[in-house]
Chain A
Amino acid sequence: MALAKLKADAAEARMAGLTLPSGFDGARKDALGRVAAMGLPSKRDEYWKYTDPTSLTQPEPIAAALFDAQETPLFGAVDRVKIVFVDGVFDADASDDLACEGIEIARLADAAGADIHWASELYGTLETRGQSPVERPLAALNTAFAQDGILIRATGKAAKPINLIYLHGDTGSDVMLHSVVKVEAGAEVTLLETGPAAARLNSVLEVEVATGGAFHHVRSQGRDHERRAVTHCFARIADESLFKSFTLTVNGQLTRNECIIEMLGDDAVAHVAGACVGDGTAFHHDDTVFITHDALNGESRQVFKKVLRNGAVGVFQGKILVKEGAQKTDGYQISQSLLLDGDSQFLAKPELEIYADDVACSHGSTSGAIDEDALFYLQSRGVPLQAATDLLTLAFLAESLDEIADETLADDLRDRLESWLARRT
């Protein structure tokens, strides 16, 4: 069957059982049109060459067992605004007041009744821009059908981080969440996302950062072994702004995290990082990043580290596009995997596309086994093999965790990671 037909059929089948929620009606209808035109991804798509999207696109989700972590929540000691979704359904009782100094917070599901002007300008807008030069139909599907999500507008320095907590309570849940963040000039906010969310999650985050604004994003995707997720983060950042995003992925059966950043203003900084620990042949993790430099003096950095064992698969597709005139761009990209055995696999496709002459861009990708000499050195000092392996694993991941600006958050993740490794996740 022709690829286009295959994709169109997949889109039709997927949308057959869905109805458009209300709110941002225009944006949703447009998105519907985009999905119909693009179809849904197929494993024959070049962009999905290393990751089979079938379980993400098929009409019904595959059930995912619940995982009881039996531990205190991540960032539990951090004073934050908690916003809880259980299988994508907002839980008012478990959530804090949606009020915080320096920011406005609203629910996407409430947007239908309220006329939230700034959000209606953004909802689906960055996703639409992100559809070229590469199509991302699952994000458009999300814009059309997302049930809920959070709208955040930072007008000053947010007093606390916002923590979207995604709980998973139903083995068959299929969830689409869509959040929008607008950071006004000079404002600053930190968004935390924690938890698996559902058996199958499709999430979109659109972030606009105005002049001199700063956005920090720290995410941990939960420990449920069987959940599947496709996430997209679309960002558009202005001059002298800062965008930082870090994601920790431990477990999950299939994860595709896409991050698409447009640097439109001069002197902007964008850092995207990820740490992933995968165990077993069922584990498949894909980081796909696309950063466009379209202004002077931009600095972008991608730091992705994956530890894979027992047949786990890691994928990295990272691109830096430097447009004509984006002089003095400083683009850095590193993707590395630590393969703890011969069965695991890392597939990397780093790309640079540069149309300006005065830029410094570099990328590197490596795949290697654990350093036997370092392992023996540790053992010879009395550290047992497993603990020594864990220590070297954490050391390998350190460079990506170091990308988190807030030390308290970073330390919390480091501690957690250490205990997860000790318990063999």
Chain B
Amino acid sequence: MLAIKGLMADLQDEDKTILKGVDLDIPAGKVHAIMGPNGSGKSTLSYILSGKDGYEVTGGSATLDGVDLLDMEPEERAAAGLFLAFQYPVEIPGVGNMTFLRTAVNAQRKARGEDELSAGDFLKIVRAKAKTLKIDADMLKRPVNVGFSGGEKKRNEILQMAMLEPKMCILDETDSGLDVDAMKLVAEGVNALRSEGRSFLVITHYQRLLDHIQPDVVHIMADGRIIKSGGPELALEVENNGYADILAEVA
């Protein structure tokens, strides 16, 4: 589904290389996790995949189902089925959460040549999905993420994912800031979406989320590269011993 080959990227404004040749292949229906020390380039990778400004790709490729992602506008990548749950969801004063969701859903439907959802249908679907994530009516009415607690913002990301039904979901530290119950809710939300045609890339620092969302493969990223890949046991190793051993091993 998602194929990344030798991806290299610099910061546009500074002379700084962040991704130094990332290779990653996530087949359809699989869940991959990325762990790695702070500043190793995990969020940068997710931003570059979703098309954020400020980076310059200097080498390599990234394709979604064979289609070149890096050539598309961010909205085209979204319509193609890519979704990023942000590490730091953005607040948008003045735009109601509901309006935001409806605009996004309908924009993607339009881009795919589908009819827009009627206001009634849309409302029904949102309410049902919000309920399972324990997002109340008030949060749907309020401006996007404004005044939301850290955990509420993360649940709101998962609600967006559930509404947009992307095929490639990248979750950047969706577990950070969540209490134990909220983490379960979020994991259930993700698990409910797991299917043969949908893949996940879960970026996390902690084993706990991976207890709930069982990954097929765990990658370790350091200094702009994937330095080691393995099964779920790799996450346990990191949880117990940190990164020192792994870093030493590849050095």
A residues whose Cβ falls under 8 Å from a Cβ of B: 371-374, 376-385, 387-388, 391-392, 394-396, 398-399
Contact = CB atoms under 8 A, between A and B. Distances in A.
B199 interface: no
B95 A381 contact: no
The main secondary structure of chain A at its interface with chain B is helix
B221 interface: no
A307 B9 CA distance: 35
A379 B94 contact: no
Contacts of B160: 381
13 contacts: A373-B90, A376-B53, A380-B75, A380-B78, A380-B84, A381-B164, A382-B79, A382-B164, A383-B75, A384-B73, A384-B111, A391-B99, A398-B94
B174 interface: no
A394 B78 contact: no
B103 A395 contact: no
Interface string B93-108: 1110001100111011
Given A372-B53, A376-B52, A376-B53, A399 B94 contact: yes
B150 interface: no
Interface in B46-97: 50-53, 73-75, 77-79, 83-84, 86, 89-95
B94 A395 contact: yes
B53 A391 contact: no
B95 A391 contact: yes
Contacts of A392: 92, 94-95
B95 A382 contact: no
Interface residues of B, number: 31
Given A372-B53, A376-B53, A383 B104 contact: yes
B75 A379 contact: yes
Contact of B107 (A373, A374, A384): A384
A396 B93 CA distance: 8
Nearest to B96: A395
B92 A385 contact: no
Contact of A377 (B79, B86, B93, B105): B86
A379 B73 contact: yes
B51 A379 contact: yes
Given A381-B100, A394-B94, 14 more contacts: A376-B52, A376-B90, A377-B89, A379-B78, A380-B74, A380-B75, A380-B84, A381-B104, A383-B104, A384-B107, A385-B75, A392-B92, A395-B143, A398-B94
Contacts of A371: 90, 92
Most buried by A among B73, B78, B91, B92: B92
Interface in B205-221: none
CB-CB nearest 7 A-B residue pairs: A395-B94, A382-B78, A381-B104, A379-B74, A382-B108, A377-B90, A398-B94
A384 B75 contact: yes
A388 B104 CA distance: 10
A392 B93 CA distance: 9
Nearest to B50: A380
Interface string B16-56: 00000000000000000000000000000000001111000
Given A376-B52, A376-B53, A381-B160, A391 B103 contact: yes
B49 to A, nearest CB: 10
B11 to A, nearest CB: 15
Contacts of B50: 380
Contacts of B53: 372, 376
A399 B53 CA distance: 29
Most buried by B among A381, A396, A399: A381
A383 B95 contact: no
Contacts of B92: 371, 374, 377-378, 392, 395
Contacts of A399: 94
Given A377-B86, A380-B50, A381-B164, A387 B107 contact: yes
Most buried by B among A379, A380, A395: A380
B106 to A, nearest CB: 9
A357 to B, nearest CB: 34
Contact of B73 (A374, A385, A391, A394): A385
A153 to B, nearest CB: 39
Contacts of B111: 382, 384
Nearest to A377: B90
Contacts of B107: 381-384, 387
Contacts of A396: 94
B89 to A, nearest CB: 8
A381 B78 contact: yes
Contact of B75 (A373, A382, A391, A394): A382
